[in-house]
Amino acid sequence: MPVTPFTKKFDKFLNGSLAEFEGEEGKQFEEYVDRYKEEALGDGEENPIQFPDNEHFEMELAQLERLSFSVADNPFFRADVAKYYPECHIVNGDNGSVIATIGPQAKSSPSFASLAFLDNFRDEKLKINDDRKIKFELDNLKSQGCNIFLTVRTFDTRGEKIKEGAYDQAWFRL
C-alpha cells in the first residue's frame, strides 16, 4: 500500500525536516510543470512527487462505530507499579494541528464528548490487573476529517523500585 500524503509529511515532521522537504518538493514539482508546459520533458521523466510503499500500519475506519484502545498488565504477572498508559491524539486532517490529546493528564475533551480516558474501570471483584483505556464513538469524529493517533506512553517511574523484567509482560489491545 502506498504511503499517504499525510504520513509522508508526518514522517518528515517527526525528524524535523518538514519545512525543507516541502520547499524542495514544491520546487521540483514547479520545475516539472514548467517543463511539461513547454513540452520539454525527457523520455520516461515522471512526476517528482512519488508515493513509495508505506512502512507504517494505517487503517481507515469506515464501518466501525466505537473503538477502545487499552493497556493492561498481564493478569498472570502483575507489576507493582503501573508504567504504560494509552494516549490518543486527534489531529485535524486539513492543517495537521492537534485538536485534542486524551490520556491520564486530560481524561476528556470539551470538543469530543464521547472521547474519554478510563482507569480502574473494572469491578473490584472481577479486576485482575490495573487496566487503562481510551474509548470513543467514531460518529463524533468522522464528520470532522480527523486523524487518530493511538500511542502507548510511559509514566515516569525513575523514583520507583521495580522488579527487573516486570514491563516485558505488558499487554496492548485495540
Q: Where are the domains of the chain?
A: 1-58, 66-173
- Contact (CB, 8 A) for 136 and 117: no
Integer Cα distance of 82 and 96 in angstroms: 32
Residue burial 150-163, b: 16+ Cβ < 10 Å; e: rest: eeeeeeeeeeeeee
- What whole-number percentage of the chain has pLDDT above 70? 72
For the chain, the average pLDDT equals 78
What does the pLDDT average to over 104-120?
83
What does the pLDDT average to over 17-45?
88
Residue 14 or residue 62, greater confidence: 14
For the cut 60, the answer to whether the pLDDT of residue 174 exceeds it is no
pTM: 0.56
| For the chain, the helix, strand and coil percentages under 3-state DSSP, each to the nearest 5 | 20, 30, 50
How does residue 124 score in pLDDT terms, banded at 50, 70 and 90?
Answer: low
84-92/112-119 β-pairing: unpaired
pLDDT tens for 127-172 read 656 678 888 877 766 666 778 888 887 776 677 666 666 656 666 5
For the cut 80, the answer to whether the pLDDT of residue 125 exceeds it is no
